[in-house]
Structure 1
Amino acid sequence: MDDLRYPPKPVPGDRVAVVSASSGLPGLFPRPFELGLQRLRDVFGLEPVEYPSTRRMGSTPQQRADDLHAAFADPSIKAVISSIGGDDELTVLPLLDRELLRANPKPFLGYSDNTNLLVLLHNLGIVSYHGGSVMCELGRPGAMHPATVDSWRAALFGSGESGGSGGSGEYVLTEPGRFGDITGDWADEATFAAEPPSEPATPWHWHRADRVVTGRSWGGNLEILSWLLMADREILPVESYAGGVLLLETSEERPDAATVFRILRNMGERGLLRQFPALLMGRARAQDPFNPVPADARARYRADQRAAVLRALETYAPQAMAVFDVDFGHTDPQLLLPYGGEIRVDGPARRITVRY
């Protein structure tokens, strides 16, 4: 889409909305939520504003739609940030006033089930940001990850401490030395006494990295995209995505390699995969949040997922370039990516540059 536009960015001191468009988990787990709100104030200098359903479990789709309308329509609100994901934001989409959202474009930060809103805003011509939640990234025990902080600062304000380029909004993604995908029990205060454990990060894996691709991004969480496709909701004619950069990542529900392949096969049969000359695949969340998984099994899970994706690409998009284990989605650190914004994937230089 050529008419996608970047909304005006907030500045320190501005009010930003915190919404639960999917799940009201802040009501069940106030500790990471309150910590995240405080970091919005202390780290970024922003003033969070809550809405009626932000901490309400079991809120109706209409109540959540009303909160989104209020947040986008309020001229004093300069950005909208998700509290967390969930599993039924699909039911909110039909209730949203598209003209209201289009007339009041604002940066929206979210991922996981918030893929629903990212896709809708994309269709309205509004660039948003894949990644970011109050409870997970802002409410991280111990401290926010420095790479996450820098990515947030660059996306929100247009520049970063590393990789940024002044006010241009361009930002070079940097591979971390370590990463983690283990989250402690939010109901246990001891969880917040130290930062989560981490392990050495495998390098990003480049496939067919013999070209440079610059395009608008689209995609998101693979499971949520599959639901949108099944519901035939907010999916444009496949030619609308031609020349773009596909973003895909999987959640803590850990879909197995066969499931990942089948979803991608269905996207391929629809003609979607061949529209994208480049794919960025997020570092897979391999740890089960309830049953610890040994390190070798987690590595095997990621390798099996990569093989499943490559199998689908070889069948449906054999010329596509792909980069695996990029640090976005359900991982720590988490790099924000512009959704509908410009991404440059430079294979020969092994460099990914985004425009925030």
Structure 2
Amino acid sequence: MNIWGPTKAASKLRKGDRVAVLSPSFAAPGFAPAVHEQAMTRFAAVTGLVPVEFPTTRRLGASAEDRAADLNAAFADPTIRAILATVGGDDQITVIPHLDADLARADPKLFLGYSDNTNLLNWLWSHGIGGFYGGSTQVHLGPGPGIDEVHLASLQAALMAGGELTITDPGESEDFGQDWRDPRALVEFGEREPTEPWVWAGPKQVVSGRTWGGCLEVLDQLALADHLPPVKDLHGAILLLETSEELPPADWVKRWVRALGERGILDAVDAVLVARPPTSSFELRPGAAERSRLRAAQRDAVIEQITRYNPGAVICVGVPFGHTRPQWILPYGGNMTMNGLDRTITAHYG
């Protein structure tokens, strides 16, 4: 089935190309500069690319207009070939009205971000420009003793190598790392635990399609602001869903997914890929058994609602993308394949 997809593809990068490192939401580099600087050093070392900061990259409290100005400047600069978001936040929806679509379309750049960056990815998608879901420099490049293998492999594929990668379970996961202001953040990961097997539901068939979706806490804002795409543009797509470090309970997630069903989105898509959700934070640390129970409750709620509205959808829950570490960076507006027969997932980095 033919579905809407990016009409202009950004080209892959080569060593020496310049990459804008921006803070379209929270300026985490200004809050924890040591982690940011380690991220920039590591990024340059593993890619050969040149990170370029803009005026608001480290400016805490920058206005929506100023953050948008940096994005527009990056879109307009022919020497900038990609844009990395340092982290998410909670107010990027106020940045979007100040963006210049003509600049973005004239010279498409690869954009990597997740969480609050669902706003920007959806905006680019609406203008025919695909991106990648994931890739926070402050969360996945800077902290800890090194870059997780799955994150590095998908980062290099997204920016430079292209090709296809089989999305695998790294076998361990953490909900949050060390406090960025603690020197240990530069050398230690957070508390990691073994992952559970992914849960598949729906028919045993193979589905390939372009992706759309993001963080549920942002998708609800997009709906209220009337920024969601027309349902007709999502026919045959693969829906990406995840939740944030705000730890919404299963009942909230059920209501969000049910609302997607009432809008017609669940019926339109051919498959749904749901991330492993965080169930603990700095402020709330349930025991291992309770964390497992919370993940299972969200899993069951999501599967129940998707199958209610679309029993023909292929579903996989528990995949490490979004608010988890290690994290796979996945295409947004690009192609993925979910194989319900042999229960494999392939991302096409094109």
TM-score range, shorter chain: over 0.9
Q: Does 1:80 align with 2:73?
A: no
Provide Cα deviations, 1:144-199, integer angstroms capped at 9, x if missing partner: 1112111111111125xxxxxxxxx2221122122222311111112323233322
Q: Does 1:145 align with 2:148?
A: yes
C-alpha distance in structure 2 between counterparts of 1:290 and 1:186, whole Å: 15
1:155 corresponds to which letter in structure 2? Answer: A
Please name the residue that 1:42 is paired with.
45
Q: Do the aligned residues in 2 keep the contact of 1:6 with 1:341 (CA within 8 Å)?
A: no
TM-score by length of 1: 0.94
Alignment of 1:62-141 (within 5 A): 62-141=65-144
Does the C-alpha gap of structure 1 residues 3 and 71 become closer, same or farther in structure 2, counting only changes over 3 Å? Answer: closer
Percent identity over paired residues: 45
Q: Does 1:334 align with 2:327?
A: yes
Q: Does 1:230 align with 2:224?
A: yes
Q: Do the aligned residues in 1 keep the contact of 2:202 with 2:311 (CA within 8 Å)?
A: no
TM-score by length of 2: 0.96
Q: Do the aligned residues in 1 keep the contact of 2:6 with 2:333 (CA within 8 Å)?
A: no
Alignment of 1:257-268 (within 5 A): 257-268=250-261
Please name the residue that 2:164 is paired with.
170
Provide Cα deviations, 1:294-350, integer angstroms capped at 9, x if missing partner: 111111110010111022113212221100001100111100111000111111121
Please name the residue that 2:336 is paired with.
343
1:86 corresponds to which letter in structure 2? Answer: G
Does the C-alpha gap of structure 1 residues 135 and 2 become closer, same or farther in structure 2, counting only changes over 3 Å? Answer: closer
Q: Do the aligned residues in 2 keep the contact of 1:115 with 1:221 (CA within 8 Å)?
A: yes
Q: Secondary structure at the match of 1:213?
A: strand
Structure 1 ranges of 4+ moved more than 3 A: 2-5
1:291 corresponds to which letter in structure 2? Answer: L
C-alpha distance in structure 2 between counterparts of 1:88 and 1:252, whole Å: 15
1:173 corresponds to which letter in structure 2? Answer: I
Alignment of 1:159-308 (within 5 A): 159=162, 169-233=163-227, 235-308=228-301
2:311 corresponds to which letter in structure 1? Answer: P
Cα shift at 1:209:
4.5
- Consecutive unaligned residues in structure 1, runs of 5 or more: 160-168
Q: Secondary structure at the match of 1:53?
A: coil
Q: Do the aligned residues in 2 keep the contact of 1:252 with 1:289 (CA within 8 Å)?
A: no
C-alpha distance in structure 2 between counterparts of 1:177 and 1:2, whole Å: 33
Aligned length: 346
Provide Cα deviations, 1:124-152, integer angstroms capped at 9, x if missing partner: 11110000111001112111111211111
Q: Does 1:315 align with 2:318?
A: no
Q: Secondary structure at the match of 1:43?
A: helix
Please name the residue that 2:9 is paired with.
6
Q: Secondary structure at the match of 1:64?
A: helix
CA RMSD of aligned residues (A): 1.2
- Consecutive unaligned residues in structure 2, runs of 5 or more: none
